[in-house]
Amino acid sequence: MILKDKELQNVKAANTIAGQKQEQDIAFYLRREFKNHPKVFVINDYKFSFNDETAQIDHLIVYPYGFILIESKSITGEVTVNEFGEWSRSSKAKWSGMPSPIKQIELQQKLLREFLYHHREKILNKLFGIKQQSFGKRCWNNLCAISSNSIINRESIPKNISDVVVKSEFLIDKINEVMKLEKSFFEKVIITDTRPDFNDEELQSITNFLIDNGYKKTIKNETKKLEKVKTNNTVLKCKKCNEASNYTAQNGRYGYFINCNECNTNTPMKMPCNQCHSKNTKVSKKKEKYTLNCSDCDNKLAII
């Protein structure tokens, strides 16, 4: 069952467009396989915040035995991982390092587990007055889905990483292998399966909680997005002395910046998005107000 589709963004950068296309492809495979499945719940592009931290999970699956987090990566060349878990990719015959998507999704999983555990009593019910098992003993799996036209150098990749890296076209097979549902929820129950499972009521409670507590975008007339500007008076600070108020806004050759009146240091107003952490941002000015605009997630942040 698909609980949330992939939300398309108005992106312009070539790498961002490719990344969004990869996520769309994964969402398509998940929809084709699980849209009518009564026990598998798919949440695409799930964003949530907990304990002053924000995470974005490309694809989240909730099923009776636990959770699967999927990180989508658009890689059209060759990818390799050394014995230390460090990733490299090739592009136009040139090699460069890249952040490990495995480490990225591990951080997302950690925050999600803390998020659910913190609200466990609200989400999970009691059975005959006995508190049910929480989220810790459930199955937690991470997968990295990369473009089907990539080349994976399996010989050099450590086995623990190779086991969770899969091309898009084989993702559904890997998910079914991880879940091991087989026919247990359609024809008969596999008695030998001793994994603790969520019942139907708990699955509904978990998925309702996730949807209700994720970021939402408001649509006006189904086409025009309402712009919500967040104000944070301390978002701009001098990069040298951290002065957060005694500065002057100026415009120069490289765009808008602030000049610190304490140490006379210039600091660019342009910064990564505070929501999705994308660097594809720009600063706009209207009268005396300056706003940071993210081209990837449409977030707008009032900085002065």
State the pLDDT confidence band at 163, using cuts at 50, 70 and 90.
very high
pLDDT in tens, 39-73: 999 999 999 999 999 999 999 999 999 999 999 99
Contact by Cβ (8 Å): 80, 100:
no
Q: Which residues contact 209 (CB under 8 A, 6 or more apart)?
A: 116, 119, 122, 123
The gap from C-alpha 267 to its chain's centroid, in whole angstroms, comes to 29
Residue 189 has pLDDT above 70, yes or no: no
pLDDT band per the 50, 70, 90 thresholds, residue 99: very high
- Distance CA(87)–CA(30), nearest Å, equals 26
Lowest mean pLDDT, pick from 96-100, 179-183, 227-231: 227-231
Q: How confident is the model at residue 132 (pLDDT cuts 50, 70, 90)?
A: low
Cβ(248)–Cβ(28) below 8 Å: no
One-letter amino acid at 291 equals T
- Determine the Cα–Cα distance for residues 181 and 63; give it in Å rounded to an integer: 9
- The whole-model pTM stands at 0.67
**Is a pLDDT exceeding 80 seen at residue 133?**
no
pLDDT tens-place string over residues 5-21: 887 777 677 777 888 88
Cα 41 off chain centre by: 17
Q: Minimum mean pLDDT among 52-66, 193-207, 209-223: which range?
A: 209-223
